[in-house]
Structure formats: C-alpha cells, structure tokens
Amino acid sequence: RGSPKQNTSIRIDLDIIHQGRVAAVTQKKTLGRWLEDAILEKIERDKKRKKPPSVKG
C-alpha cells in the first residue's frame, strides 16, 4: 500500500478499539494497519455477496 497516509479521526466504542488493538498486537501489526486490513476484508466480502448468482447451464 504505497499511497500516502492521512490522519483521520473517527468515533469508535472503546471496547471495540481495545479488541482491535489486542488483535493487532497479536498479529504484530499497528492498529492502523490492522484497521486497513479489516476494512479491505469487509469491502471484498461485501463485493462477493453482491455478485449475481452464476448461471449454470
């Protein structure tokens, strides 16, 4: 991910941030990197759900 980083403020429940921080440390990532990965995974998962069913014939 070679694009420039931007500081962004968001409001998130403190318990969720804590869980994310623990998961990030467990995976040896920064919280920012872990959040980026989580957002990208969610985007990909949503894309797959929105694809129309394949036609079998």
Structural domain boundaries in the chain: 14-50
Q: What pLDDT digit, counting tens, does each position of 29-49 carry? A: 999 999 999 999 999 999 988
Residue 28 has which token pair?
């040896």
* Length of the chain measured in residues: 57
Count other Cβ atoms within 10 Å, centred on residue 33. 13
Crossing angle for the helix pair 14-26 and 31-50, nearest 10 degrees? 100
| Candidate from 14-18, 24-28, 36-40, 46-50 with smallest mean pLDDT | 46-50
